[in-house]
Every structure is written in structure tokens, then in C-alpha cells.
């Protein structure tokens, strides 16, 4: 409970800092350090612990299986809405905040042993989906052009992905390095959550009926779908719990930012990211409680 209160406190610090005279691009600076230092250090420490068995396969393919299902639901939800609203939901619904929010919350609710599964879901699922599917949605609804080479290049030079491949090839880091990597890795949770809090935006004109439906889809229906997929695959309990929680994370901040930048229902996109984080602080512990009752 104390750890969860610490998560709320860090988010609150970020929100309060919005009122301070913070440097320009404060959140971007925090994100830069997290992406280039904290997350790679976490990857180097945790990825060698991954055992690629049937559970790992379930962790990796579940986010990909959820994409077409969620797309179909969004298409039905937005059949009477303009294209820019549909584009916003197609972008922010399948993509969850599985790293910046996912890592600290899963760490709090399930423990450190769940982090390798989080990294698998995030890097092989969310990150690749953002790079490929996310770019395709933006191209389809904004530019009409799909730059395959640019997408692949961005993916290959993304630092956590590079270190992911490195960790998979070379395995566990030398003991002498691990204590220093642990120090760098420990900065991930506080910096990421302060950045998330600082980036949360509220207000604007929002279709509250569609907003409510979208929150239910993102925070309740998606984890239920993931649960069904993993049960059918016979996934072991810890991997199943981790993936269900990751599937129920609020919308990714990056996806929301891309939607806003592209002009895809900016108020709705911002509300789903901001309020989604707050609501998920209630739904995720409830989901964890229910999973513990089942297993």
C-alpha cells in the first residue's frame, strides 16, 4: 500500500510542477533520460531473466492479437463520428502506457519478478505496434503516405530496443556492473511518474459518452480480452497476471501526443490519457485483486 501511495505522490508532484517555473521542455528532458539511461539499464538487468517458453509466446503475441479486435470495436463505436475522432481512438486505444506507467505499477502490484514480462510486452508488443501500426494510422488519416524505411529506421535506433537485442544476445551483465546498473535503473520509476504527472492535461470539449465508452474499452474490456486469450493458451499465472495488467494500462502518452499533433480529436485524446491514468489507479488494483482470487 505504501508503494502505491508513493506512485500517487509522484504523479501529484508532476501535476504540481505544472504550476512551477519549470525549464522549457521539462517533461521531454525527463523522458530523454528515462529512454536513454533508465530504461536501457532496466533492460540490461531484467531481460536476461526472461525464459522463452510458451508463457513468453503468450506475452508477446497478446498485444498483437488485441489490435484487430480493438480496431473492430472502435470502428463500431465511431460509425457516426467524423474521421478525425475515429483516427484518435484507433491510435490511442490499442496502445497502452506499458512502460512509464506499466513498470512502476506492475512492480508495485506483482513484484520485481514480473518486470521481465513487462519488458517483453512493452518492447515486442507496444513499442513495435506504435512504430508500425501507429505510423500506419497517422499516414492513413493525415498524410496519405506510408514511409516504411523511416519507420524501420526509427525502430532500429530506439535505445531500449538496441539494448534489448544486446541483452538477448549476451545475457547477464558482469557482477561488477550490476550494482551500477541497478542505481541507474532505480531512477526509472520516479522520473517516469513525475514526467507523466507533469504531462497530464485536463479540460477541453469532449464527447463524454464516447469518452466513457473508450475508458471502459481501454481499462476493462481489453484486460478481459487478454485474460481470455491467455487462459486459452494455458499461460502460467505470473505471466498471465502481468499481461492482463499491461493490457489494462491507460492510453500511451506518446500515442496521445501523436494524435494531438495530427489534429485527431485533441481534447478527447488528452482526456483519455490524463483521466485514464487517474481511473487506472482504481481499476488496476481491482483487477489484481480479482486475479489473485482466481489464482
List beta partners, residue 96.
251
Contact present, 216 and 89 (Cβ < 8 Å)? no
Place of cell 459518452: 209
In order of 115, 132, 139, 261, the CA distances from 82 in angstroms are 39, 24, 17, 17
Radius of gyration over every alpha carbon of the chain, rounded to an integer in angstroms: 18
CB 223 within 8 A of CB 244: yes
CA gap 167, 149 in Å, rounded: 25
What is residue 279's predicted lDDT score, i.e. its pLDDT?
92
Q: What is the pLDDT of residues 72-97, one digit of tens each?
A: 999 999 999 998 999 999 999 999 98
d(CA 80, CA 163): 44
Q: What pLDDT sits at residue 62?
A: 95
Strands, DSSP E only, in the chain?
Answer: none
Q: Give CATH for domain 2-6+26-193+204-294.
A: 1.20.1530.20
For 251-268, letters b (16+ CB in 10 Å) and e give bbbbbbebbbebebbbbb
Calculate the dihedral angle through the C-alpha atoms of 262, 266, 269, 272, rounding to the nearest 10 degrees: 160
DSSP 3-state assignment of 251? strand
* Angstrom distance (rounded) from CA 80 to CA 209: 13
**How far is it, in rounded angstroms, from Cα 170 to Cα 73?**
41
Residue closest to 288 by CA, chosen among 249, 253, 251: 249
> What angle, rounded to 10 degrees, do the helices at 2-17 and 266-294 form?
170
d(CA 284, CA 49): 25
- SS3 call for 96: strand
- Of 157, 189, 197, the closest CA to residue 278 belongs to 197
Q: What is the DSSP string of 118-131?
A: HHHIIIIIIIHHII
SS3 assignment, position 217: helix
The SS3 call for residue 115 is helix
Nearest Cα residue to 237 out of 49, 58, 3: 58
Model confidence pLDDT, tens digit, residues 129-147:
876 787 778 777 765 555 6
Low-confidence ranges of the chain (pLDDT < 70): 1-4, 50-53, 131, 142-158, 160, 200-204, 261
Are 125 and 60 in contact by the 8 Å Cβ rule? The answer is yes
Amino acid at each position: 500500500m505504501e508503494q502505491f501511495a508513493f506512485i500517487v505522490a509522484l504523479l501529484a508532484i508532476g501535476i504540481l510542477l505544472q504550476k512551477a517555473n519549470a525549464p522549457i521542455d521539462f517533461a521531454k528532458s525527463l523522458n530523454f533520460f528515462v529512454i536513454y539511461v533508465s530504461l536501457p539499464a532496466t533492460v540490461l538487468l531484467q531481460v536476461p531473466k526472461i525464459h522463452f517458453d510458451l508463457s513468453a509466446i503468450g506475452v508477446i503475441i497478446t498485444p498483437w492479437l488485441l489490435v484487430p479486435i480493438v480496431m473492430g470495436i472502435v470502428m463500431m463505436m465511431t460509425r457516426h463520428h467524423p474521421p478525425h475522432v475515429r483516427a484518435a481512438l484507433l491510435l490511442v486505444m490499442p496502445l497502452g502506457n506499458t512502460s512509464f506507467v506499466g513498470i512502476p505499477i506492475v512492480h508495485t502490484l506483482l513484484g520485481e519478478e514480473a518486470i521481465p514480462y513487462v519488458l517483453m510486452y512493452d518492447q515486442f508488443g507496444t513499442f513495435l505496434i506504435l512504430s508500425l501500426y501507429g505510423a500506419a494510422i497517422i499516414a492513413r488519416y493525415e498524410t496519405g503516405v506510408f514511409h516504411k524505411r523511416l519507420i524501420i529506421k526509427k525502430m532500429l535506433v530506439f535505445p531500449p530496443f538496441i539494448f534489448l537485442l544486446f541483452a538477448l544476445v549476451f545475457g547477464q551483465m558482469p557482477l561488477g556492473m550490476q550494482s551500477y546498473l541497478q542505481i541507474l535503473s532505480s531512477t526509472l520509476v520516479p522520473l517516469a511518474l513525475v514526467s507523466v504527472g507533469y504531462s497530464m492535461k485536463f479540460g477541453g470539449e469532449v464527447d463524454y459518452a464516447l469518452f466513457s465508452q473508450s475508458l471502459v474499452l481501454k481499462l476493462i474490456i481489453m484486460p478481459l480480452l487478454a485474460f481470455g486469450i491467455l487462459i486459452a493458451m494455458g499461460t502460467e499465472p505470473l505471466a498471465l497476471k502481468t499481461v492482463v495488467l499491461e493490457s489494462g494500462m491507460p492510453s500511451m502518452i506518446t500515442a496521445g501526443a501523436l494524435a494531438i499533433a495530427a489534429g485527431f480529436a485533441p481534447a478527447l485524446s488528452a482526456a483519455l490519457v490524463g483521466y485514464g491514468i487517474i481511473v487506472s489507479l482504481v481499476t488496476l488494483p481491482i483487477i489484481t485483486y480479482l486475479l489473485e482470487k482466481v489464482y
